[in-house]
């Protein structure tokens, strides 16, 4: 086979190979965090994990498991996140808690917690918008 044909075959293969983008931030076995995030501590329970996270100089937490605690945060309103378009957030005392359904057997839910002063100033919604499911 002439060298020119071989070169064309290699170029065609490279052009047809899908580009795989790397996750922006660190990943667990179930989700990836936004760019610039750092997991500072993980507590593993018998059927759950709780991750402490630092992002943009603020502290966040993520519970992953099947039984999130709804807490006493008044009514929960819808918030559209890429990982769950029907997620719901509760806000109380400057903190927000977003319950995210994963569609998996385990963890069935993530509870994404973090700073949230109001529905107009809510860092946890911005943080949650950067989550990517696996």
Q: Which two tokens stand for residue 24?
A: 């922006």
First to last CA, the chain: 43
pLDDT 10s digits, 69-85 = 876 565 678 888 988 99
Tokens 């808690």 — which residue?
A: 97
DSSP at 56 = T
Tell me, what's the pLDDT at 127? 96
Q: Is the pLDDT of residue 131 over 80?
A: yes
C-alpha closest to that of 88 among 119, 47, 66 = 119
Tell me, what's the pLDDT at 38? 96
Q: Which two tokens stand for residue 106?
A: 């385990």
Q: Which two tokens stand for residue 132?
A: 């990517």
DSSP at 21 = P
């Amino acid at each position: 086979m002439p060298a020119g044909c071989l070169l064309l075959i290699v170029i065609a293969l490279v052009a047809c190979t899908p580009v795989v983008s790397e996750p922006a931030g660190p990943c667990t076995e179930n989700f990836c965090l936004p760019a610039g995030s750092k997991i500072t501590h993980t507590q593993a329970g018998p059927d759950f994990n709780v991750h402490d996270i630092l992002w943009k100089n603020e502290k966040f937490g993520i519970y992953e498991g099947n039984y999130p605690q709804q807490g006493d945060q008044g009514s929960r309103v819808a918030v559209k996140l890429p990982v769950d378009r029907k997620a719901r957030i509760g806000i109380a005392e400057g903190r927000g808690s977003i319950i995210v359904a994963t569609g998996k057997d385990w963890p069935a839910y993530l509870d994404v917690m973090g700073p949230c002063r109001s529905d107009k100033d809510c860092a946890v919604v911005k943080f949650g918008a950067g989550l990517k499911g696996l």
